[in-house]
Structure 1
Amino acid sequence: MEPRGMKKWRPFATMLEQYIGLQEVINKQHEVTQPVLTEEQMEQMNFTLIEALYTNKQVYLTYYKNGQRVTQTGFIQFVDFLGNLFVFIDEVFELKNKMRLSELIDVRFV
C-alpha cells in the first residue's frame, strides 16, 4: 500500500471534464448576437475612422469578437475599405491589431 497524500483532500479535481463543460455553459450564457448596423451608422463610422487616421486622434473602438462586445482605446494606423480591414494600435500594450471592418460596431473619439 502506498499513501494517497494530497489526493484525498481534492476529491473533485479528478472531474476536469465537468469543470470544462460548466465553463463552456457559462460562456455561452454571456454571448450576444452581432448587431446589424444601418447605412447611416456605417457611414458615420467611416468618417470617424478617416478623421482619426489623418489627425492621429485617440478613439474608443467597440467591436464584436467571439460572441462578446469588446471596447478598446487606441489609435488608427491603417484603413483599407476595399480589403475590408483596418489596423489599430492598442493604447495599453501598444500592439498592432488587424481587424475586419465588418466586426466593428462603434467608433468614437476619446
Structure 2
Amino acid sequence: MQNRGMKKWRPFATMPEQYIGLQEIINKQAEVPQPFLTEDQMEKMNFTLIEALHTNKQVYLTYYKNGQRITETGFIQFVDSLGNLFVFIDEVFELKNKMRLSELIDVHFT
C-alpha cells in the first residue's frame, strides 16, 4: 500500500479566487469599530506623549488601523499637536513610523 500524500488535496487548490474571497470575509468579521475617545482621554494621551518625548522613555502605543487595534512598543521622537501627527521609533525593527494622533487609542509607559 502506498501513501498518496498531498495528491489527495490538489483538486481543492484549483479555485484560488474562492480562498481569496473567504479570507476577505474572515478579515471583515474580525474588524472592530474605531473607539470614540473623550477630551479627557485625549488630553491624558497628549501629556503622556510629551513626557515620553522629553524623557525618552519607552511607551506602549495602541492605535487603530484597517479595522484592527494594534499595540506596539517604541520611543516617541516627534509630536505635532497642531499638525495632528507624531513620529515613533519601533522597538522591534527600529523603524520610524509617522502616524496621525486621531488613530491613537492609548499610550502608557512600559
| TM-score normalised over the length of structure 1 | 0.92
Q: For residues 14-40 of structure 1, what are the alpha-carbon distances to aligned partners after superposition, in whole Å with 9 as ceiling and x for unaligned?
A: 100000000001101110000000000
Deviation of residue 7 (structure 1)?
7.7
Please name the residue that 1:63 is paired with.
63
Q: Report the secondary structure of 2:25's partner residue.
A: helix
- CA shift, 1:13, in A, is 1.1
| Separation in structure 2 between the aligned mates of residue 55 and residue 9 of structure 1, nearest angstrom | 57
Identity %: 88
Which amino acid is the alignment partner of residue 65 of structure 1? K
What is the alpha-carbon root mean square deviation over aligned residues? 1.4
Task: Identify unmatched segments of 5+ residues in structure 1.
Answer: 1-5
Q: CA deviation at 1:8?
A: 7.8
For 1:11 and 1:46, how far apart are their aligned partners in 2?
A: 55
- The answer to whether the aligner puts 1:33 opposite 2:37 as a matched pair is no
For 1:79 and 1:9, the matched residues in 2 are separated by: 53
Partner-residue secondary structure (3-state), 1:10: helix
Provide structure 2 residue ranges, at least 5 long, that are not aligned to the other structure.
1-5
Where 1:94 maps in the other structure, the secondary structure is coil
